[in-house]
Amino acid sequence: MKRFQRVVIILIFIGVIAATYGVEFYGKYTVPIIMYHNAEPSERKGALNSVSNKNFEYQMAFLKRHKFNVISLTDLARAIREKSSLPHNSVVITFDDGYADNYHHAFPILKKYGFPATIFIVASLIEHENYLTWDQIKEMEFSGIDFGSHTLTHPYLPDLTRDQQRKEIIGSKEFIESRLGHTIHHFSYPIGGFNEDSKALAEEAGYLSACTTNRGYTRFNEDLYELKRIRFGNKDNVYWNVFVKLFGYYNLFRKPVNPY
């Protein structure tokens, strides 16, 4: 065989492999869901679940500067349900636990950029020290912040019986709805822990989605009741850190963790 023919055959072979894996890779695009907890005035050493004002501002400015399509969790849930595709620069912002600092520190910055976000609140902790008040929640709702349930008492759900889980998952929804006067659409599992009962109850309750951390059986957010999220904190204050977490293929490189 002539040298030229050999080169052509090798190039075709490489092309076929690249196209196959390229399509496979492209199909794994997953809209990143950012997960925050505390939003504080400055960096707190060792606090993995905290973001300082300066770093939160950096991250939100990053989204703005790079023209990210910041969408609500409801828009994402709808797209997953309908299997419709979203632009490959979409992103969702969420907070867990309902700390008062979300109102004092994160909310002004979210408002400045006009970004939607979902805050998952623990029903029994509202109005307690360091947690949001109903008035703050209503004010934030008025400015486009959505509230979801993070249970009644923040237990590790897999340790509970099905009936106890029912109270936490369905009871919290009913309680928050009675206080806010409208439907609550989303749920997040405390510490990301869940089992089959938790998922079934979240669906039975009528939630459109349930978020975890990086726990679960699936990897690319194809299951609305185990949506994986990406933790953001104070280390995410340089370009490459933020880029890698948000380019839509981060879950390809993350080792799935058991749900409980």
Enumerate binding residues for Zn ion (CB under 5 A): 96-97, 190
Residue closer to Zn ion, measured from CB, 57 or 97? 97
Task: Give least dist CB 37 to Zn ion, A.
Answer: 7
Residue closer to Zn ion, measured from CB, 49 or 164? 49
Decide: 126 and 134 in contact? Cβ < 8 Å: yes
Residue closer to Zn ion, measured from CB, 97 or 226? 97
Task: Give least dist CB 157 to Zn ion, A.
Answer: 11
Residue with CB nearest Zn ion?
96
**By three-state DSSP, how is residue 237 classified?**
coil
Residue closer to Zn ion, measured from CB, 96 or 197? 96
Task: Give least dist CB 15 to Zn ion, A.
Answer: 48
Task: Give least dist CB 175 to Zn ion, A.
Answer: 17
Task: Give least dist CB 44 to Zn ion, A.
Answer: 17
Task: Give least dist CB 156 to Zn ion, A.
Answer: 10
Which one-letter DSSP state was computed for residue 181? S
